[in-house]
A and B are shown apart, each in its own frame.
Chain A
Amino acid sequence: KQEVTQIPAALSVPEGENLVLNCSFTDSAIYNLQWFRQDPGKGLTSLLLIQSSQREQTSGRLNASLDKSSGRSTLYIAASQPGDSATYLCAVPQGAQKLVFGQGTRLTINP
């Protein structure tokens, strides 16, 4: 059974800092890994999807890496802004597209 863990559970940093969010998974036989953002009381916004054959994906100030062999992924956010404050979730598919989610990292960027 796939289990996904995210560290830290919460993170508060001043605006402008670069930061890293961590995600680990127990079963390395994954097709891909997806990072999402969730604002309070809202749905999920897909940020990045990394295929199992890829090492990283970039979108603007976001960079996600994947190391399948060690069961880890990181989400790097450059030059953080208050608008980046949200909960960040990573998820991996188990079986046919069913996603298994981590508990999320609640990020606060202080102006």
Chain B
Amino acid sequence: SAVISQKPSRDICQRGTSLTIQCQVDSQVTMMFWYRQQPGQSLTLIATANQGSEATYESGFVIDKFPISRPNLTFSTLTVSNMSPEDSSIYLCSVAGHLAKNIQYFGAGTRLSVL
């Protein structure tokens, strides 16, 4: 399976600040995704991180709030900008296309608390 390293694992941030989350995969993958899991809820896709082009955002999520980078096939970042307490969630990176298989693998997640 793909090994995904996500950093930081958790953080406590002040309102109005920004946090950048990193996702590193141990091998090249076709697709990388960012999900959000609000307290007590299931996962919701934020965006698909496209290598070499702008990310594709889901309805309700915008680039100004969640800018995403994907400079190569093994790395992506998600920034949560101008944070408010409503952004307190677990943010998860996932990948697909490892070894040409369509199984999705997830990182351990970043637990974000905004005060």
Judge if A64 is at the interface, Cβ distance under 8 Å.
no
Q: Are B6 and A43 in contact (CB under 8 A)?
A: yes
| B48 within 8 A of partner (CB) | yes
A42 CB contacts on chain B under 8 angstroms: 108-109
How many A-B residue pairs lie within 8 Å, measured between CB atoms? 59
Judging by beta carbons under 8 Å apart, are A97 and B102 in contact? yes
CB 8 Å contact bits of A25-47 with B (1 = contact, 0 = none):
00000011010100001111110
Q: Which residues of A contact B48 (CB under 8 A)?
A: 96-98
Chain B residues within 8 Å of A49, by CB: 102-103
Report yes or no: B45 in contact with A99, Cβ–Cβ below 8 A: yes
- List, in ascending order, chain A residues with CB within 8 A of B96's CB: 97
Q: Is the CB of A43 within 8 A of B103?
A: no
Kindly list chain B residues whose C-beta atoms are within 8 Å of the C-beta of A96. 31, 48
Chain B residue nearest to A93 (CB atoms) is B102
Beyond A41-B90, A41-B111, A103-B42, whether A97 also contacts B106 by CB under 8 A is: no
Q: Which residues of B pack against A, CB within 8 Å?
A: 1, 6, 31, 33, 41-45, 48, 58, 90, 92, 94, 96-97, 102-109, 111
